[in-house]
Amino acid sequence: MGSENIQIVLEEDGTEVLEDDYLLFQDNNTKLMILPSNNQWNPPIPAFDETDRPGTENSYNPVKILQKLVRSPGSIALLSEEELDVVSSFTSHQNIGIPQTEMEYLIGACQRELEHRKKIQDALDLVDLYQRAKEQSDIHP
């Protein structure tokens, strides 16, 4: 089996490793998969969501969130405000396996989603304030 008949991919997201230099930007314990070139990578089925693990709150990894968004852009609606904030403030000058223009687009989309959610919360707060004021005026005409 020659090297032209295989492909090396990251186990986590299926990113194909084409150059050794790419591995310099990965964590030390990054898992790789060797696949026959005619096979397609499929995502592993996690036993639990990483955010469910104790001690992971407030320690979101923006690169992993961005990689998740590359695979499933619609999942932006499922991100917490904390995750959106982490991605919105992310800046990287290293190759993380996502084309720069796509990364910038995803970061901008996270910023817009976060702003949208804040506007909705502000509107809900205003409605709540209006309702409380109306109740007070009904009690004390």
In this model, does residue 109 exceed pLDDT 90? yes
Does the model's pTM come out above 0.85? Answer: no
Q: What is the pLDDT of residue 113?
A: 94
In this model, does residue 42 exceed pLDDT 90? no
pLDDT in tens, 63-86: 889 988 988 888 898 899 999 999
Q: What is the pLDDT of residue 116?
A: 94
Q: What is the pLDDT of residue 59?
A: 67
The overall average pLDDT reported for the chain is 80
In this model, does residue 102 exceed pLDDT 60? yes
Q: What is the pLDDT of residue 2?
A: 52
Q: What is the pLDDT of residue 72?
A: 87
- Three-class SS of the chain: CCHHHEEEEECCCCCECCCHHHHHHCCCCCCEEEEECCCCCCCCCCCCCHHHCCCCCCCCCHHHHHHHHHHCHHHHHHCCHHHHHHHHCCCCCCCCCCCHHHHHHHHHHHHHHHHHHHHHHHHHHHHHHHHHHHHHHHHCC
